[in-house]
Structure 1
Amino acid sequence: MADPILSIRDLKVEVDIGGRSLSVLDGVSLDLYAGRTLGVVGESGCGKSMTALATMGLLPERFAVTGGEILFDGEDLTRLAAPRLRQLRGNAISMIFQEPMTSLNPVMTVGRQIAEVVELHQGRSRAEAREIALEMLRAVHIPGPEQRLDAYPHELSGGMRQRVMIAIALACRPRVIIADEPTTALDVTVQAQIFRLLRELQMDTGTAILLITHDLGAVADMADEVAVLYAGKCVERGPVDAILGAPSHPYTRGLMSCTPRLRLGAAALEPDPHGLGEIPGMVPPLGRFPRACRFGPRCGLADARCHAEAPPLVPTGPAHTALCWHVTPHSAEARP
């Protein structure tokens, strides 16, 4: 496999609260390859969106990168001057935000918002940028693109607004797209349409996609590789088939057990022998991360060592690793 287009190495992010520095991300490492999709999953509060915002240089006030590096074409994004970062952001690296209604400008037409990106990063004239905006609306399959070009966000459905967000993200043909929960507010039919659209555009452009989601169904549908985050740590990484087919980390197995299974025909009338699982407890808040295994207090396999020592990163298969004392290449099929 070629070198990654985006490589996050041992990323650490902290937030200053009342003069105390609290860990948000602790040693997160991810690789993203051209033409492929990396799914980043985990419960709310595990650090998924913070990883995306750190990559884009959009961390909120009081949050800061305190260690590690984010390499894009050999440049460390965490050390770039603001003008250079602005050249890349929205141009070579774009982001699709979670809620288009709050991300789009309500007093600008959608066509103008797409065109503005092209004018800024490519130096096109206003007329040229408008033509590109129209092409992008066609590319994302918005019906009646000539009329929608001059529409305002509130005049569009949720699905069309999200398509506009994708059009903005793709307008400069970026090499990397970060999609942060891009279909959370949409119904399942529109979700499927959005994911199909992203796959089509990825095949046409070779764009790499970092897909942040809590939906394992979306991961199965879209991702080539998966990273599982918990309490600011990457606890498991690997190919999507390995992660979903034979998850190694107890947290990943817990997430899988919480996912409803589709059962058809007569089987749907019978009790599910597996049931719908749950993970006891909650993700610890900032400042209360356990010193050893962060998942230990919620894990059915945890023993004294888990509460005393940080677990090692164990290879459990080809390009598949898990951060756990109870996982080895020979016991990866163990279940809690």
Structure 2
Amino acid sequence: MSSSNRERPEDHVTTLLHTLRGEAFRRQLNLQGSRIRAPTSLSSGPSLPPVLFGDHTGDDAPSRDVSSSHQSRTLSKTAGPPPPRSWIPPSSSRSSGSTSPEWRRNALSLVFEYTRSSSKAIDQSSKVPTLFQTCLHRLLIDFGGIPVDLFSFLPRHILREYVRYSAVFAPLPKEDLEAIWALENAGSVDGEVIITGPYASSVLSRQVPSVSDVPSEWDANDNSSDPDPPPIMDTFIVLSAPFPPSLMSLLPVTLTHLALVNIQRLPIQTILIHVPLLKFLDLSYNLWVGEIVENKLLRMEWRRLRNLEVVCFRECGIAEEHTKALQEVLNKGRLTDMKLILMD
């Protein structure tokens, strides 16, 4: 046998030591009753930026770091029983009530759903936001919004989605709203006006008178050579902003979608007079509506709104015994039943 095939003494000793060490290690594990485990990560929190999952409130998003974002996220639904309450950290930084983006998004969801153009900016069908939503968030939260001098370079549908997204997550100041509405002298963006308070409440009294002249302006420019004229205003939304009853008479008669959500009491019967072409009416989150069911709602001539298809009274405190009577009054004199939405 050649010397190359012979095992050297030092190699034999090394093999024996390796074998003995392995046996000693396994014996020690058996005595401790433990098993070999792969090393785990020191952090179980999400590794992606929280903005990708819509975890932003608009006001505090720029100052939040990754660690605080991980702590403020709620636990997702998984198989098995829910975790103990002690495992869920308190969300002290989350806004509450009508000031939170979650509430505003829910309050505006119906009017956006029933308008002629659905909203891609606040679509929550997927847990992972689209590239468009991510860009809007970066522009609003990280850069304070789109510069006013760039509004004229953006197409209408982009401006509309920008205003909708900002109405939910970071309401625009009155200067930006006025600049957008003045682009085409139409008093709206793609036929839509959104007033989200309290940030834009001061512009409301000046905006409504300017849009009341929209029909006459449209008629005057009917023969214009503009290949893409601005659409007639058909949607008017006020959310958590002061809305004096006197402004009802100044609304354009071209409105087909009206949402007055979380506002002070107003003479609801004036809606029948000033906006006769309504198809969609949302008076949700107004507790005073529940107080006038018998005296006002059940006595109104709803059939005067011949085009009305959807009425929303979410969280208005309407008693259950009045639901059937209200449905009958709304459908009186109609060939097709009207859709009444009382719950989210």
Higher Cα Rg, which structure:
2
Higher strand share: 1
TMscore range, shorter length: under 0.3
Query: If the length of structure 2 is used for normalisation, what is the TM-score?
Result: 0.27
